[in-house]
């Protein structure tokens, strides 16, 4: 199997150059081998079908564990959902299957998306293929790690609440596209925080990410926040011509950044300028309040979402003894990890009567300020550019030393665009030694095409 790009795969499978059953066997076998070394998956498919529709022609697609796949355990990285096998596919998954894709497996993630390093996983912590002593990033660590390590055509379906697509894409040196909130249906997603969750692709190239977005985007009556977007082919209008594009550089996003990251991102910005775009600095003054606001909103929503996991309906069940409360607390104590418990407590506290105005309502106001900052910037700029992450992929031994607060601070650059629901893409822009660095591009709501074009032009110039 020599082909790695999805574009070449599509060409070769149509011309009959690839023998599908052989390809499928090899892909599954390779996924298994990579998994035993790096822990990318919670479950891997046993076999693929033989008949496939275009446009995907049997392309292997991995699915983050929190996105339901019929007949495969879908546990959102949590022990409390162990044994939960959904009887239906999430809309994004059914679109992939309808387009002829094959689910290759369920990728490991932080429990319910709670994390930045994929170290809060009930089914194994994925290791970074660039250095197995380091994190893949999170929470979609398995998705990004596998995308980087697989030497055959594949695209991952991942999800972001506050940066879970961009962060692991950056740490693993692949492309991560978080679409506008609502562009991809959330039906069948095991929610973290409903007002923030977005499903999107992680892929080896910008073209691949654009291609997968075209397949999964579109209105779905089963998701009340779903936007129109059916039938847009983002690859058709993919263009390297970015002459005259205006790029904003938010100055708050360059504070306390690792020196190598800063250097690589600035040289990427200069590269983009040399392709005919112009850049200018801009200020987004609410940035400093975004992180605390995010952690209040996200945990408040998470604490209500997790209430349904109590050993009655989904996943883990226990021995019924004592009253309901006793049974629920036994199952929940056993099934939830430490970080999930912390967030349930934090979120419950933030929305308790008496505290709601002081925390939750205030956080909602900050969210509006963050959105306004972006809206103002997008009156002047087509795209904003910044580092994706302030640090290089850390070692597991370094992560262990971090306090919860230090952990949350790592999301400082990815949280604001996620709060605003705007689209963003992380594209590889260089290395520090063997460790990849990501450039983060952000655009106004539904301006995915602009975003993809800048990313594509940059990728081509590398
Ligand atoms: N690291 C952030 C958090 O823990 C974002 C994770 C995500 O996007 N799911 O909330």
Q: Which residues, in sequence order, are bridge partners of residue 280? A: 248
Whole-number pLDDT of residue 358 = 93
Give the burial string for 361-386 (b: 16+ CB within 10 Å, else e): ebbeebbebbbebbeebbeebbbbbb
- Candidate from 38-42, 303-307, 353-357 with smallest mean pLDDT: 353-357
Q: How far is the CA of 140 from the centre of ligand 1 (A)?
A: 9
Res 376 pLDDT > 90: yes
Res 1 pLDDT > 80: no
Whole-number pLDDT of residue 50 = 81
pLDDT digits (tens, 9 = 90+) for 195-243: 999 999 999 999 999 999 999 999 999 999 999 878 899 999 999 999 9
Atom of ligand 1 nearest to the CA of 116: 1
Active-site annotation holder among 30, 45, 62, 64: 64
Q: Sorting pLDDT into bands at 50, 70 and 90, what band is 253?
A: very high
Provide, for the chain, the percentages of residues in helix, strand and coil under a 3-state DSSP scheme, each rounded to the nearest 5.
Answer: 40, 15, 40
Q: Sorting pLDDT into bands at 50, 70 and 90, what band is 411?
A: very high
Whole-number pLDDT of residue 3 = 57
Whole-number pLDDT of residue 51 = 80
Q: How far is the CA of 286 from the centre of ligand 1 (A)?
A: 20
**Mean pLDDT (the chain, rounded):** 96
Whole-number pLDDT of residue 238 = 97
Whole-number pLDDT of residue 221 = 97
d(CA 239, CA 418): 26
Whole-number pLDDT of residue 80 = 98
* Contact residues of ligand 1, CB 6 A cut-off: 113-116, 139, 160-164, 192, 298, 411
For residue 135 the two structure tokens come to: 């994190």
Res 292 pLDDT > 80: yes
Whole-number pLDDT of residue 414 = 98
The pair phi, psi for residue 98, each rounded to 5°, is -60, -30
d(CA 104, CA 51): 16
Whole-number pLDDT of residue 2 = 54
By most ligand atoms within 8 Å of CB, the mutation choice from 76, 115, 181, 340 for ligand 1 is 115
Instruction: Report pTM.
Output: 0.98
Q: Which CATH number fits domain 6-239: 3.90.226.10, 3.90.1300.10, 3.40.50.150, 3.20.80.10?
A: 3.90.1300.10
Residue 308 appears among annotated catalytic residues: no
Atom of ligand 1 nearest to the CA of 298: 10
């Amino acid at each position: 199997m020599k082909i790695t790009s999805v574009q070449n795969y599509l060409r070769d499978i149509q011309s009959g150059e690839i023998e599908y059953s052989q390809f499928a066997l090899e892909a599954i076998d390779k996924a298994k081998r990579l998994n035993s070394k790096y822990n990318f998956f919670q479950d891997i498919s046993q076999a693929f079908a033989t008949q496939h529709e275009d446009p995907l022609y049997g392309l292997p697609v991995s699915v983050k564990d929190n996105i339901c796949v019929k007949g495969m355990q879908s546990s959102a990285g949590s022990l409390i959902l162990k044994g939960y096998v959904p009887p239906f596919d999430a809309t994004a998954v059914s679109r992939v299957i309808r387009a002829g894709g094959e689910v290759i497996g369920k990728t490991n993630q932080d429990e319910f998306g709670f994390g930045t390093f994929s170290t809060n996983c009930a089914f194994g912590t994925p290791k970074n293929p660039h250095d197995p002593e380091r994190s893949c990033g999170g929470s979609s660590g398995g998705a990004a790690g596998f995308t980087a390590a697989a030497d055959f055509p594949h695209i991952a379906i991942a999800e972001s609440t506050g940066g879970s697509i961009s962060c692991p894409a950056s740490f693993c040196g692949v492309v991560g596209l978080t679409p506008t909130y609502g562009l991809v249906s959330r039906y069948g997603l095991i929610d973290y925080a409903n007002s923030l969750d977005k499903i999107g692709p992680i892929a080896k190239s910008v073209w691949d990410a654009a291609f997968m977005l075209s397949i999964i985007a579109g209105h779905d009556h089963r998701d009340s926040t779903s936007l129109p977007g059916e039938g847009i082919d983002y690859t058709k209008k993919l263009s390297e011509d970015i002459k005259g594009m205006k790029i904003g550089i938010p100055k708050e996003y360059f504070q306390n950044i690792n020196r190598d990251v800063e250097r690589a991102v600035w040289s990427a910005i200069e590269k983009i300028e040399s392709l005919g775009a112009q850049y200018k600095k801009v200020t987004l003054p609410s940035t400093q309040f975004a992180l605390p606001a995010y952690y209040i909103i996200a945990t408040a929503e998470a604490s209500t979402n997790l209430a349904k996991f109590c050993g009655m309906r989904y996943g883990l069940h226990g021995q019924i003894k004592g009253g309901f409360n006793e049974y629920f607390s036994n199952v929940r104590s056993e099934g939830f990890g430490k970080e999930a418990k912390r967030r349930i407590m934090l979120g419950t506290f933030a929305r308790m009567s008496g505290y709601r105005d002081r925390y939750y309502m205030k956080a909602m106001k900050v969210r509006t300020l963050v959105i306004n900052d972006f809206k103002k910037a997008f009156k002047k700029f087509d795209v904003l550019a910044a580092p994706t992450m302030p640090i290089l992929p850390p070692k597991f031994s370094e992560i262990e030393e971090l306090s919860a607060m230090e952990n949350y601070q790592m999301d400082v650059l990815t949280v604001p665009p996620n709060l605003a629901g705007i689209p963003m893409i992380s594209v590889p822009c260089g290395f520090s030694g063997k460790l990849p660095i990501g450039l983060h591009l952000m655009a106004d709501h539904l301006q995915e095409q602009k975003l993809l074009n800048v990313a594509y032009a940059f990728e081509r110039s590398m």
